[in-house]
Amino acid sequence: MNILTAAIKFPPLESASEDGLLAVGGDLSVARLLLAYQSGIFPWYENGQPILWWSPDPRMVLKIADFKVSKSLRKVIRSEIFTVTFNQEFSKVIKHCASVKRDGQAGTWITSDMVEAYQKLHQLGHAISFEVWQDNSLVGGGYGVDLPDKKVFCGESMFSLKSNASKVGFAALAANLASKNYRFIDCQVYTEHLARFGAKEIDRALFIKWLNAS
């Protein structure tokens, strides 16, 4: 098991366990988090656990060019029952992501320390949010880490209080990223929800190649 020290560095990705666990410990400082995402690594742990760092193989990736919107979702978007903004309520979004209950999950992996760390990333311009509104109420949203130099967005979490709210927000995010010539969204691990948008699993080695491409 790779144990991190105070030094801001990570072990080789090839040393990760079969399920993708790369290292334990360290901190959630801005410098370490940015190095992690730039290297294809992310933190994921629960309250009561040490910080766990992951780099799974395979990796779930959504190329912007492959983004798909279903006919039913297009109809919802055209109805304009929702409006989408960016970076207006980052703190509210991440706290909703941490508190909204999900099927099959007893608790949340977004600990109070993670909330504080990503709020700091946002304040420094490294994390962004999208907000979905209905009748001036926040009904959905999501957040992630922005890597503009790589033209990559690292999705972290989404929430929805109304049917289709987070889907509409995610579609708006993809369109916004496309307008800035972003290449792909790092979705980290497989979910059927993301697969419907066109995300696919690829070998970690290929993911790192894409991540480091100019």
Q: Are the CB atoms for 26 and 53 separated by under 8 Å?
A: yes
Residue 33 sits in a domain whose CATH number is 3.30.70.3550
Count of CB atoms situated within 10 Å of the CB of 83: 14
Provide the residue range defining the domain that includes 36. 3-57
pLDDT at 78: 97
The pLDDT, as a whole number, for residue 106 is 41
Mark whether 16 and 64 lie in a shared domain. Answer: no
Cβ contact 10:53 at 8 Å: yes
Residue 117 belongs to domain with CATH number: 3.40.630.70
In a shared domain, residues 143 and 84: yes
Residues 33, 118 within the same domain: no
Within 10 Å of residue 182's Cβ, how many Cβ atoms? 20
Contact between 142 and 114 (Cβ < 8 Å):
no
Co-location of 50 and 68 in the same domain: no
Q: Are residues 109 and 9 part of one domain?
A: no
pLDDT value of position 108 = 57
CA distance 23 to 35: 14
Rounded Cα gap, residues 106 and 194, in angstroms: 21
Residues 139 and 157 in one domain: yes
Helix (H) or strand (E) holding 140: strand 137-147
Q: What is the DSSP string of 81-130?
A: --EEEESS-HHHHHHHHHHS--TT-SS-S--HHHHHHHHHHHHTTSEEEE
Find tokens 């009561």 and name the residue. Answer: 48
Q: Is 20 left (phi over 0), alpha (psi -120 to 50) or beta?
A: left
Residue 65 CB neighbours (<10 A): 9
Q: Which amino acid is at 7?
A: A
Out of 57, 80, 95, pick the residue that ends a domain: 57
Q: Are residues 84 and 124 in the same domain?
A: yes
CB proximity list for 146: less than 8 A, separation 6 or greater: 125, 126, 127, 128, 153, 154
Predicted model pTM: 0.94
Do residues 104 and 202 share a domain?
Answer: yes
pLDDT in tens, the chain (214 residues): 799 999 999 999 999 999 999 999 999 999 999 999 999 999 999 989 999 999 999 999 999 999 999 999 999 999 999 999 999 999 999 999 999 765 444 445 799 999 999 999 999 999 999 999 999 999 999 999 999 999 999 999 999 999 999 999 999 999 999 999 999 999 999 999 999 999 999 999 999 999 999 6
Q: Say if residue 34 is in the same domain as residue 105.
A: no
Are both 175 and 195 inside the same structural domain?
yes
Residue 101 is predicted with a pLDDT of 61
Domain count, the chain: 2
One domain, residues 117 and 46: no
- Last residue in a domain, options 12, 33, 57: 57
Contact of 24 with 52, CB cutoff 8 Å: yes
29 and 122 part of one domain: no
pLDDT of residue 105: 43
